[in-house]
Amino acid sequence: MPLAVDTLERGGVNPSRIILGHISNTAVSDMTLLEDLLKRGVYLQFDVFGNPWQLKMNDKAAADAIVTLAKKGFSRQLLVSHDMCTKFHLTRFGGAGLQHIHRVILPYLRSNGLSELQIQEIMISNPSRVLPLAMATSHPLNQ
C-alpha cells in the first residue's frame, strides 16, 4: 500500500484524494501501517462488513480498528461501507444485508466510545468530501 501511495503522489495526486479500500485485513495485521498511511493524508475504507467470505477478518476486529484510529484523531479520514457483490450478501439469501452497518456496526462504534460527531464524519462528511463529482470544464458533457 505505501508503494501505491508513493506512485500516486509522484504522479501528482494529492493524498487527500486517495482512498485505500478493502483495508480490513490490514487492520488485523498492522495498525502501525494504517496510522502511517493516515499521517500521509489518505483515506482508509473499511468495506467488508457482513461479508460471509471474510478470511482473516471479522466485523469486530474492523470496528475495533476504526475505534482505535478515530480515538487517535483520524476520524476525518475513515470511510465505512458494505462490499456487496453477490446475492449471498443480501438477507434474503442468508447474508447480513444492507442494514448491517446501521444495525450492528454503528451501535458497536457508539458503545465503544465514538461520538455522534465522529460517526457523522465517518458516515456522511468524509464521503461527501472525498467523493465529489466535479467535471473539468473541457469535458464534452459540459459543452
Q: Would you kindly state where each structural domain of the chain is located, as residue ranges?
A: 2-142
| Distance in angstroms (rounded) separating the CA atoms of residues 106 and 91 | 18
Of residues 55 and 44, more confidence is placed in: 44
31-39 vs 2-10: helix axis angle to the nearest 10?
Answer: 10
- Confidence class of residue 49 from pLDDT cuts 50, 70 and 90? confident
- Helix (H) or strand (E) holding 46, with range, is strand 43-46
User: pTM of the prediction?
Assistant: 0.84
The pLDDT, as a whole number, for residue 2 is 81
Domain 2-142 CATH superfamily:
Metal-dependent hydrolases (3.20.20.140)
The pLDDT, as a whole number, for residue 141 is 46
- Confidence class of residue 70 from pLDDT cuts 50, 70 and 90? very high
Distances (CA, A) of 58 to 19, 27, 50, 62, 140: 21, 10, 8, 7, 44
| Cβ neighbours, 10 Å, residue 69 | 21
Whether 114 shows a pLDDT value over 90: the answer reads: yes
- Confidence class of residue 138 from pLDDT cuts 50, 70 and 90? low
Contacts of 6 (CB under 8 A, 6+ apart): none
Residue in this structure with the C-alpha cell 494529492, named with its chain if needed: 14
